[in-house]
Amino acid sequence: MATLDFWFDFASTYSYPTATRIGALAAAAGVEVRFRPFLLGPIFKAQGWDTSPFNVYPAKGRHMWRDLERTCEALKLAFRRPEPFPQPSLLAARVALALEGEARVRFSRGVFRAEFGEGRSIGDRETLSAILKDCGVEADAAFARAESPANKEALKAQNARAAELGLPGAPSLVTAEGEVFWGNDRLEQGLDWAIGKLR
């Protein structure tokens, strides 16, 4: 079965529609998707940014928020801008990485929906606990695994791999041969590539 790695940061705006859309599209295409949480922070820092480029460059940021609103409307997806932006995504990334399989997928979608669909803060444990509960996962045990030294190291390894792949941002889709597709706009193309339609 063809595979596709879906790299995302929970603070990434366009990762929200991708996380929501990718399940059904991948199932229809017969592609196995691996949810790979990572942190954009180190990549941004390497480029000299101490916050999201959407804050660093206001014209880009203004367009992005309006464009995201239009994108969500077209998909009939709830949209509400969280404050502040970007949201702290470290804890959510650690939790997602500590989960496996369908639990990771459901938790990740839940975090994106809370953050960009309801404008909730994803930095605090209460929000994440409620999402974990909705996924049938015991929150305290999940936090303990998330914050274990091994899992913290595993997230660092993910970030190192993302840097090695040269990911320009999130969402990024990476095929088995290392072909990189950046952005929610490239989801369909990434899936087509994965199943050999474009090669």
Token digits for 178? Answer: 């290392």
Using alpha carbons, select from 3, 20, 37, 23 the residue that is nearest to residue 170. 37
Q: Identify the residue among 45, 70, 81, 156 touching its own copies (CB under 8 A).
A: 70
| C-beta separation of 91 from 61 below 8 A | no
Number of H helices and number of E strands within the chain? 10, 4
Residue 164 makes contact with its own copies by CB under 8 A: no
Shortest reach from residue 173's CB to its own copies, in Å: 11
Residues 6+ apart with CB under 8 A from 22: 6, 33, 187
Using alpha carbons, select from 183, 161, 162 the residue that is nearest to residue 172. 183
Shortest reach from residue 143's CB to its own copies, in Å: 33
Here's the x/- map for its own copies, 167-186, by CB under 8 A: it reads as xxx----------xxxx-xx
Here's the x/- map for its own copies, 22-51, by CB under 8 A: it reads as ---------------------x---x----
Residue 60 makes contact with its own copies by CB under 8 A: yes
**Most distant CA pair in the chain, distance:** 46
Residue 133 makes contact with its own copies by CB under 8 A: no
Which residue ranges make up the site for its own copies (CB under 8 A)?
43, 47, 57, 59-60, 62-63, 66-67, 70, 73-74, 166-169, 180-183, 185-186, 189, 198
